[in-house]
Amino acid sequence: MELELRHLRIVCAVAEAGSVTKAAAALGLAQPAVTAQLRRIERHLGGELFERGRQGVSPTPLGELVLTRAKVLLPAAKELHDDAVRLAASSRAGEAVSSRLRLGTTGGPFLAGMVRLLEKAEPATDVITSASFRASELLDQVRGERIDCAVIGCCGERSVPADLDLDVRTVAVEPVCVMLAEGHPAVGLAEVPLSLLADEHWAWLPGDGCLHECFVAACVRAGFTPRTGYEGDAATCIEMSRTGRAVTLCLPTRRAAGVVVRPIAGAPLRWVHVVAWRPGADGGFSSVLVESAIAAYREIVADAPEYSSWLGRNPTFGVPSPI
């Protein structure tokens, strides 16, 4: 037996439904057939994928591994199918096939502007975006030719990702800031010393870099160990700060109602925005990629006068000077 996409669909259906019976109904199959297929898959992989209980089934560690990989493979297979169908249909109709730029991103303040500028510079190119909190995942997708380029952020206290297989260009270097409730005592300061926040809880976005480790080290240098932290999406982190439940680590151009963003005194933490692509495999877009990213970043800086002024006083940040 070889593991096939249909097997992965069964595993995902069982996990999503929480029971084999409900998964069978969702798949339009008989429950005994799904049970038998699941057992064959488990025998092939060498272990159980789900734990059975009164409340239904839940993934085992092996099941979590299979589900994580399946959630990458199944969408990629569907994208391949859909793209092939579109290409075949346009070829049969004698239509010109437009070029396509697949862009993966961990998110960032200038992404929307970058896409707009890319589409303006290359009107015949379809820009397709996908997102992940994991920069390493996106870089693997570039290497595996599942996307054409990655626009990612990484902690600047360690080296920018270096890989002989990829071209990497720094777009900008930013200070990691803090997001505070409007009524927080430190809001009146132009820059906030970490030591003033020693008693706070903390929130941050998920990721696979070393930012949290470097943040803890910066707090220790400031004389304290940070209290309980909360990892969550952007909306959750903003709400944590707005309600005073936590101080959120964020980038300087982040804006939301009910919160204020301030630089950390001395800028002990840096965040680096980079663009990465496979050499010679970007369809000739490398220069326009970098130019669009830098131009979009400068646009958001121009719309943030306080941060623009801060950059004027801290010239080692912002867009790096050409070599």
Per residue in 127-142, pLDDT (tens digit) is 999 998 888 889 889 9
> SS3 sequence, the chain?
CCCCHHHHHHHHHHHHHCCHHHHHHHHCCCHHHHHHHHHHHHHHHCCCCEEEECCEEEECHHHHHHHHHHHHHHHHHHHHHHHHHHHHHHHHCCCCCCEEEEEEECCCCCHHHHHHHHHHHCCCEEEEEEECCCHHHHHHHHHCCCCCEEEEEEECCCCCCCCCCCEEEEEEEEECEEEEECCCHHHHCCCECHHHHCCCCEEECCCCCCHHHHHHHHHHHCCCCCCCEEECCHHHHHHHHHCCCCEEEECCCCCCCCEEEEEECCCCCEEEEEEEECCCCCCCCHHHHHHHHHHHHHHHHHCCHHHHHHHHHCCCCECCCCC
For domain 177-268, give the fold: D-Maltodextrin-Binding Protein; domain 2 (3.40.190)
Poorest-pLDDT segment among 149-153, 213-217, 221-225, 286-290 = 286-290
**Average pLDDT score over residue span 214-229:** 91
Q: What does the pLDDT read at residue 201?
A: 95
Q: For the chain, give every residue range classified as CATH 1.10.10.10.
A: 5-73
Cβ neighbour number for residue 55 with a 10 Å cutoff: 8
**Average pLDDT score over residue span 295-311:** 94
Q: pLDDT category, 97, cuts 50, 70, 90?
A: very low
When the candidates are 3.40.640.10, 3.90.180.10, 3.40.50.150, 3.40.190.10, the CATH number that belongs to 98-173+271-313 is 3.40.190.10
**Average pLDDT score over residue span 44-48:** 90
Q: pLDDT category, 6, cuts 50, 70, 90?
A: confident
Cα gap 214→262, rounded to integer Å: 19
**Average pLDDT score over residue span 294-317:** 94
Compute the radius of gyration of the chain from its Cα atoms: 23
Cα gap 5→281, rounded to integer Å: 28
Amino acid in position 147: I
For 84-96, what is each residue's pLDDT tens digit?
777 776 665 554 4
CATH architecture of 5-73: Orthogonal Bundle (1.10)
**What rounded mean pLDDT belongs to the chain?**
87
Task: Report the percentage of the chain scoring pLDDT > 90.
Answer: 46
For 99-109, what is each residue's pLDDT tens digit?
788 999 998 88
Q: Which token pair is 27?
A: 């798949």
Residues 146, 13, 71: CA angle, nearest 5 degrees: 20
Per the confidence metrics, is the pTM higher than 0.95?
no
Q: Which residue has the higher pLDDT, 297 or 159?
A: 297
Residue 282 reports pLDDT greater than 70: no
Q: For the chain, give every residue range classified as CATH 3.40.190.10.
A: 98-173+271-313, 177-268
Residue 238 reports pLDDT greater than 80: yes
Cβ neighbour number for residue 47 with a 10 Å cutoff: 12
Q: Which residue has the higher pLDDT, 8 or 282?
A: 8
Contact assessment for residue 106 and residue 251, using Cβ atoms and an 8 Å cutoff: no
Q: Dihedral, CA atoms, 114, 115, 120, 122, nearest 10 degrees? A: 110
Residue 287 reports pLDDT greater than 50: yes
Residue 322 reports pLDDT greater than 50: yes
Contact assessment for residue 254 and residue 227, using Cβ atoms and an 8 Å cutoff: no
CA-to-CA separations, 151 to 104, 110, 123, 173, in angstroms, rounded: 6, 10, 20, 14
